[in-house]
Amino acid sequence: MKTANKLTIINDPIYGFITIPNGLIFNLIEHKYFQRLRRISQMGLSYLVYPGAHHTRFHHAIGCVHIMQKALEKLEQKGVRVSSEEKEATMAAILLHDIGHGPFSHAMENSIAEGVHHEQISLQFMEQLNDEFNGNLTLALKIFKGTYHRPFLHQLVSGQLDMDRTDYLKRDSFYTGMAEGNINTDRILAMLNVKDDELMVEEKGIYTIEKFLVARRLMYWQVYLHKTSLVAEQVLVKVLKRAKYLTESGQVLPASKALSYFLKKKNAEGVFDQEALEVFSNLDDYDIISAMKSWCDADDFVLSTLCKIIIDRKLPRIKIKKKPFKKEFIQEERERVKVHYDITDEEVDYFVFTGTLTNQAYTLKKEAINILTKKGKVIDVISASDQLSLKALSKVITKNYICYPKHLN
Amino acid sequence: MKTANKLTIINDPIYGFITIPNGLIFNLIEHKYFQRLRRISQMGLSYLVYPGAHHTRFHHAIGCVHIMQKALEKLEQKGVRVSSEEKEATMAAILLHDIGHGPFSHAMENSIAEGVHHEQISLQFMEQLNDEFNGNLTLALKIFKGTYHRPFLHQLVSGQLDMDRTDYLKRDSFYTGMAEGNINTDRILAMLNVKDDELMVEEKGIYTIEKFLVARRLMYWQVYLHKTSLVAEQVLVKVLKRAKYLTESGQVLPASKALSYFLKKKNAEGVFDQEALEVFSNLDDYDIISAMKSWCDADDFVLSTLCKIIIDRKLPRIKIKKKPFKKEFIQEERERVKVHYDITDEEVDYFVFTGTLTNQAYTLKKEAINILTKKGKVIDVISASDQLSLKALSKVITKNYICYPKHLN
Amino acid sequence: MKTANKLTIINDPIYGFITIPNGLIFNLIEHKYFQRLRRISQMGLSYLVYPGAHHTRFHHAIGCVHIMQKALEKLEQKGVRVSSEEKEATMAAILLHDIGHGPFSHAMENSIAEGVHHEQISLQFMEQLNDEFNGNLTLALKIFKGTYHRPFLHQLVSGQLDMDRTDYLKRDSFYTGMAEGNINTDRILAMLNVKDDELMVEEKGIYTIEKFLVARRLMYWQVYLHKTSLVAEQVLVKVLKRAKYLTESGQVLPASKALSYFLKKKNAEGVFDQEALEVFSNLDDYDIISAMKSWCDADDFVLSTLCKIIIDRKLPRIKIKKKPFKKEFIQEERERVKVHYDITDEEVDYFVFTGTLTNQAYTLKKEAINILTKKGKVIDVISASDQLSLKALSKVITKNYICYPKHLN
Amino acid sequence: MKTANKLTIINDPIYGFITIPNGLIFNLIEHKYFQRLRRISQMGLSYLVYPGAHHTRFHHAIGCVHIMQKALEKLEQKGVRVSSEEKEATMAAILLHDIGHGPFSHAMENSIAEGVHHEQISLQFMEQLNDEFNGNLTLALKIFKGTYHRPFLHQLVSGQLDMDRTDYLKRDSFYTGMAEGNINTDRILAMLNVKDDELMVEEKGIYTIEKFLVARRLMYWQVYLHKTSLVAEQVLVKVLKRAKYLTESGQVLPASKALSYFLKKKNAEGVFDQEALEVFSNLDDYDIISAMKSWCDADDFVLSTLCKIIIDRKLPRIKIKKKPFKKEFIQEERERVKVHYDITDEEVDYFVFTGTLTNQAYTLKKEAINILTKKGKVIDVISASDQLSLKALSKVITKNYICYPKHLN
């Protein structure tokens, strides 16, 4: 990547070449806040199941910019007027939409960084960058927050058919090798249109949308909620909770400066203060994994055992069912583990635990996907396709799981 | 392709290499009946819409053999016993399953060759080949007809999830460039299993099946029933009907020997006699297209006009609606055309006509797709997936269309 | 494809979507001269070896327009000024560059249409179309002929690295399944530049060029000159020569009007007259294949035997060697065939024949590929890459072959 | 991955499904030595240039097993006898061939772990594993070392056309998005044969081999030796050297246990002792990157500056030329940096430095690629292809580079 007066070209296994326009977008990519995303895995610990899935949030964000650029070009070809300021701002907004993600976000948000959502952190980083870039991100911020008067720009950044989802479904399907999750980006982009500043899908794109939603659900159940990824992530939550508990109890665990800060920190209420934000900007996967590697030798039995489970990939057993597990069964497993490990009831919670999974491919009410008919009418995709299976896709599915150690003998 | 004592390798854009075992399969491929399929387009006139779709029934049949071979290997790895005789016979059955297809089959079956279905002709060809090959196709015939005592072999040849569909969906999606119809053959094959000699899909394959059915429906509505292909095929039916009518009226139209035979022939009742079968074995796309090319200069206004419509690709307008078209509208169009062309009422039928389209992605009752649960129970895919959208896929969809000339001025 | 005031989109298995601008290009595609290319196989009889290779010259020409459009866009991004007239004309020139191809061109040019090269016929068709389109192709003709004052536009149409080659290498490699011939179109286009109105390749593109030339040579030896395609084409030449000889001897062979015309016609000297051009515009693969199908029943032993060789794919043996075959060996084979078939010495020439193959991946002198160094100097690719293997690629390779019937017993 | 009595299936973006036979291979993969490779990037810091290139040595090793399995199957189909013991041992040998790689191997071997080559470490790990697995790796070790009496098995593991190269070229080309480096694995495997227990390529595979070698060279110059990767790797060497120097001077730098050990350790002479090996088995990319992250705040100006260069991706300028750089030019740059940073002459060495690059696509003498002619003769690929460009590929190319900080103002 160069600052010279020409386009910067990035090789991408998915789109071939990605061309980054110089100026704001290029300078944002060069910023250390954004470079940090190179060290944040897009799919958390999923690589323990899909060894190809080592792609990063950096790469995803760049991919989003690429298809956003294409989407806006397509819309312009169809007569939708988009000013160059709007274009740059929308591209900046999608570039930065995930900048607040921490390492293994979902695990962190359920352990040491409870109380602050990654979208909030993205917003805080964007505001900070807006200061550094002399207000050049003001419009991007409006679009990101959905307060700009042309809603379709926000819908392209964040909605049921946004460029974020379009890229991550394609990218995650590609890197996991789960070819069935693949979606036809070109066709999706070709089907977009705008009416009264709202994002629409042209009527002939209805099968494409259905396929998109089916692919999305498939990716949820077979990849994102894959039981082995799930169990790995849950163990990671337990590791971080235990480390925080031990730290609060006065123990000093080896950890990077940034991770130590968050182990000690009281949970924030909704937002980070300036200090927390700055420290957070130094936190990435390497802090977490390195800490776990050293904690494999920790004195605390619970912590060291949990860390080895992840580092050496000796994952617990997980079972998934439609109905909740019986209390007796859970109690039995707890007892076995308690005796086997010789640990307390509280400590058993780290090894035997239950929870629920839920997924809904299409949300009926908010952020509907609008279909623009050939005659110019606007209808929701569900009613547009009464013969189709979309209604079924909007049903909420809930499943129950239990995790407990295997190979106890 | 060689007869030498080694495997014959065929390059295939889809599967890479296809390896044909010598012996029966190889010799069947070499037979002129099978070589004829090189001259029969797999997708009829669809290449008028999708210029890449020039692949042939020959290529499809070879592809089917390839995945049948893989499917049987997978089943054997799972402990399903298949004898080498059964293997060869099943591969022969799938190789020959379409050998009775004529040029533009659907058009022919609705015009000059009414009354004999292509599956019947395939059967007659197979019986003839069985004589030539000294009874070596006896088992293949049983499997093809579904009378063999192990139903899964027939189900692999012909069923809701057979190797025929598996190949043609993948192949047609590939050659049309309609990437959304692509299916994951490897995964489908990996999910197959057999219980009590019935073909099953393993429970974890349920999303794969859903995706297969969604892809299939998408291909129907966006490709197989694409309105431009549809109108081209309907015009072809009209051409052949007109040519037959003129022949019956005593006119001699230039045509190949084989085509002339069928223009003159009375419609058969269910089966071909030996003579018709032999003549049919010489009939292919080249007879039809060449005849239309020469009929562009025919004296008959209706015939020459219809032929030019196809040869020069000046296709009529087609409209598709859920509800039937109003009689007044149809009558109005007929009147316009009658006056414009100065033709009789009967002749107007060749230019203005209506019809219905119908499609059902999954047939509920017969030939259900059976799901084999982890615990060994067998259930239909619909009940296995109450949370899924498969029920919707089994709904019959019907649409109406009307065709009439455009650019009348 | 529609005439409406919007872009026409064509699905392409290779490039995804191809967008055809309305106006001149769209109208040329709709013309019956161009529609004829739908019935002309891009690779002649190669589908007898590569069953996937049924793509047409129509599809190739459309593909060329697509990448020409992209190439011109890239050049504009680099600051090369191209007017919209130049753009349209260059796209028209590449669209029509092959419009003069007849069915199985190389075979025809060596038999019934000797004396007129397909490039000459393309030129005549273009001039005719220029009249029909009121002079709108005047600039396209200049570019096609290389008389326009900006040579790079001609070089993009016809040169060592033109869009014709770039498309056909990619397309033929794709449809044959010979993945090794695949080239990176995107990268090639990204490396193009223009200096002093001459087409250049940027220095960093040197490995891309080398790979292009290696792929091209590979396609020549493994696909275009594949011995089975070669022998099929040679037999086709013999068929047409025999048919012409018999016609000249007074026999009347069944054939389409257009083919009959050329069987009777004296060979032209360099150009077609108006009548020949018009008849030629009706000649395509269907005339040739249909004629061969009917000639399988011809009285003439030589003609019927040769036709069955192709139609039923019972091809002769072919041997290829660096050194010429010995006279004694050739004579021996001739004698065997003469006795076996009981034919005359002249007739043996149709069954036993020899020839040479030649190929040169890169032509040293004319139409060099120019490399533009980072410092702005222009050098030939050979000297730019003294460390590379390009010099070797410019060596002329010649091989000898002999064909004779197999299975004589 | 399961231990149950069935095949373990791994999704792979490149080969689709990889099937791992249970038993030895599965158990080796589960071992923590092998799991460590999940944390070692296959291409070092190349992801700073190619953001998709985050694949790991773990994934590569699994891929090697997959194609080794296929290669052995192909050979068996051709009549080469391979016992099941030999098969398992060869697969184990390729699985473990890279197990001795440390994090950023080339950088480490040039800094803190000088004196011990990664192949030696692989051997030591394999011997250790052989003890743990009760001698089950004895045959694998023989094959790995090349002392087994059937050389082709070793040649498949390590030679000019081994499964290691075949996988990494394909994989690296895939993940970088450098499509031109793609090779046709299926075809390469299909061309392998064995004569007198030596690995051969069949004559018809000669263009495939040439394409393989051209792709390999392209990957070297455009990817492996990409100037930005190169400069990043050189800076990493400097970081590690500086850290070792500071440690030797008595400073205590924050680092993981394993990294601290190697910073303190005297360079070994050829082999690791047992303790070093054990510590090494805990060292991976996370140790190095985490250390650099914390060293960004180090007191030492040189160390902190170099670390920020990598972590924030503010890389120095690098120039590459055929001829060596002039002493005056180097001296000038050194002087500028010395003044600008106010550092000593010795410290300038960390910021301004020169070196040479070298690459040879095909090594003429040792480990020739043998071609097996149709007549059964064995010749080297160079003489087999006198008309080809292979001789050029065996020429050694050397280039010079200089690195120095940019943006000094």
Q: What is the pLDDT of residues C23-43, one digit of tens each?
A: 899 999 999 999 999 999 999
Quick one: tokens of C222?
Answer: 């493994």
- Mean pLDDT computed over C152-172: 95
Partner residue facing A221 (CB), from B180, B207, B215: B207
Q: Collapsing DSSP states into helix, strand and coil, what is residue C378?
A: strand
Nearest CA to CA, how far is B252 from chain D (Å)?
A: 54
Using the CB atoms, write b or e for C82-91: b if 16+ within 10 Å: beeebbbbbb
Residue A360 has pLDDT above 80, yes or no: no
Please list, in sequence order, all residues whose beta carbon lies within 8 angstroms of the beta carbon of residue A10, skipping any fewer than 6 positions away. Answer: A1, A17, A18, A19, A20, A62, D51
Quick one: tokens of D194?
Answer: 């064995």
Asked if residue B361 lies in contact with residue B351, where contact means CB atoms within 8 angstroms, the answer is no
Residue A183 has pLDDT above 60, yes or no: yes
Length of chain D: 409
Nearest CA to CA, how far is B202 from chain C (Å)?
A: 32
Give me chain C's average pLDDT, please.
Answer: 90
Long-range interactions of A274-281: CB distance < 8 A, separation 24+: A277/A121, A277/A124, A277/A125, A277/A128, A280/A102, A280/A121, A281/A32, A281/A33, A281/A36, A281/A125
Please list, in sequence order, all residues whose beta carbon lies within 8 angstroms of the beta carbon of residue C212, skipping any fewer than 6 positions away. Answer: C161, C166, C169, C183, C188
DSSP C182: -
Task: List the beta strands (DSSP E) in B263-352.
Answer: 317-321
C-alpha–C-alpha distance, residues D211 and D206, integer Å: 9
**Does B8-215 carry CATH code 3.40.50.720?**
no
CA dist D337 → A377, D233, D340, D346 (Å): 67, 20, 5, 12
Taking residue B31's Cβ as centre, other Cβ atoms within 10 Å add up to: 16
C-alpha–C-alpha distance, residues A36 and C337, integer Å: 77
Contact A35 D313 (CB under 8 A): yes
Partner residue facing A392 (CB), from B184, B208, B392: B392
- Nearest chain C residue to D186, by CA: C179
Quick one: tokens of D129?
Answer: 């594993």
User: What is the number of H-type helices and E-type strands within chain A?
Assistant: 20, 9
Q: Sorting pLDDT into bands at 50, 70 and 90, what band is A365?
A: low
pTM of the model: 0.86
CA dist A116 → A73, A266, A270, C381, D342 (Å): 36, 12, 5, 59, 44
- Which pLDDT value is given to residue D389? 62
Cross-strand bridge partners of residue D398 = D358
Torsion sign, CA atoms D72, D74, D76, D80: negative
CA dist A290 → A234, C41, D44, D286 (Å): 18, 61, 18, 6
Asked if residue A2 lies in contact with residue A16, where contact means CB atoms within 8 angstroms, the answer is no
- Which pLDDT value is given to residue C383? 72
* C-alpha of B155 from chain center: 17
- Nearest chain A residue to D258, by CA: A294
Quick one: tokens of B30?
Answer: 């070499």
Q: Which of A36-45, A69-78, A100-109, C370-379 has the highest mean pLDDT?
A: A36-45
Contacts of B187 in chain D (CB under 8 A): 17
Chain D residues within 8 angstroms (CB to CB) of chain A: 10-14, 16, 30, 32, 35, 38-39, 47-48, 50-52, 54-56, 58-59, 62, 174-179, 256-257, 282, 286-287, 289-290, 293-294, 297, 311-313
Nearest CA to CA, how far is C181 from chain A (Å)?
A: 18
Q: Which of A218-227, C239-248, D238-247 has the lowest mean pLDDT?
A: A218-227
CA dist C394 → B279, B377, C359, C380 (Å): 53, 67, 9, 13
Length of chain A: 409
- Which pLDDT value is given to residue A7? 61
Taking residue C22's Cβ as centre, other Cβ atoms within 10 Å add up to: 15
Please list, in sequence order, all residues whose beta carbon lies within 8 angstroms of the beta carbon of residue C222, skipping any fewer than 6 positions away. Answer: C178, C180, C181, D207
Contacts of A215 in chain B (CB under 8 A): 211
Give the residue extent of every domain in chain A.
317-409
The parts of chain B modelled with pLDDT lower than 50 are 1-5
Asked if residue B89 lies in contact with residue B111, where contact means CB atoms within 8 angstroms, the answer is no
Nearest CA to CA, how far is D206 from chain B (Å)?
A: 17
ipTM of the modeled complex: 0.91
3-state helix, strand, coil split of chain B in percent (to 5) is: 55, 10, 35
Q: Which chains neighbour A (Cβ–Cβ under 8 Å, 3 or more pairs)?
A: B, C, D
- Which pLDDT value is given to residue B406? 83
Which residue bears the tokens 């000797």? C114
Contact C7 A77 (CB under 8 A): yes
Residue A395 has pLDDT above 90, yes or no: no
**Does C8-194+205-215 carry CATH code 3.40.50.1220?**
no
Quick one: tokens of D287?
Answer: 């140790």
Taking residue A345's Cβ as centre, other Cβ atoms within 10 Å add up to: 9
Asked if residue A156 lies in contact with residue A163, where contact means CB atoms within 8 angstroms, the answer is yes
* Dihedral-angle region of residue A2 (phi above 0 means left; psi in -120 to 50 means alpha; beta otherwise): beta
- Which pLDDT value is given to residue A408? 55
Dihedral of CA atoms D344, D345, D347, D352 in degrees, nearest 10, equals 130
Contacts of C225 in chain D (CB under 8 A): none
Please provide residue B255's backbone torsions phi and psi, each rounded to the nearest 5 degrees: -165, 160
At A188, the amino acid letter reads: I
Long-range interactions of C342-347: CB distance < 8 A, separation 24+: C343/C301, C343/C302, C347/C301, C347/C302
Considering the four listed CATH numbers 3.30.410, 3.30.70, 3.30.2310, 1.20.1250, the one that applies to the domain covering A317-409 is 3.30.70
Contact A16 C77 (CB under 8 A): no
- Nearest chain C residue to A18, by CA: C186
* Dihedral-angle region of residue A158 (phi above 0 means left; psi in -120 to 50 means alpha; beta otherwise): beta
Residue C391 has pLDDT above 80, yes or no: no
Nearest CA to CA, how far is C66 from chain B (Å)?
A: 14
CA dist B380 → A396, B367, B369, B386 (Å): 22, 10, 6, 10
Residue C2 has pLDDT above 50, yes or no: no
pLDDT tens-digit readout, C93-139: 999 999 999 999 888 888 888 888 888 999 999 999 999 999 999 99
- Which pLDDT value is given to residue C396? 77
Asked if residue B338 lies in contact with residue B404, where contact means CB atoms within 8 angstroms, the answer is no
Residue D367 has pLDDT above 50, yes or no: yes
Residue D8 has pLDDT above 70, yes or no: yes
* C-alpha of A135 from chain center: 27
> D8-194+206-215, what's its fold?
Hypothetical protein af1432 (1.10.3210)
Please list, in sequence order, all residues whose beta carbon lies within 8 angstroms of the beta carbon of residue A350, skipping any fewer than 6 positions away. Answer: A238, A241, A242, A302, A306
CA dist C170 → C14, C15, C17, C76, C184 (Å): 8, 10, 16, 24, 8
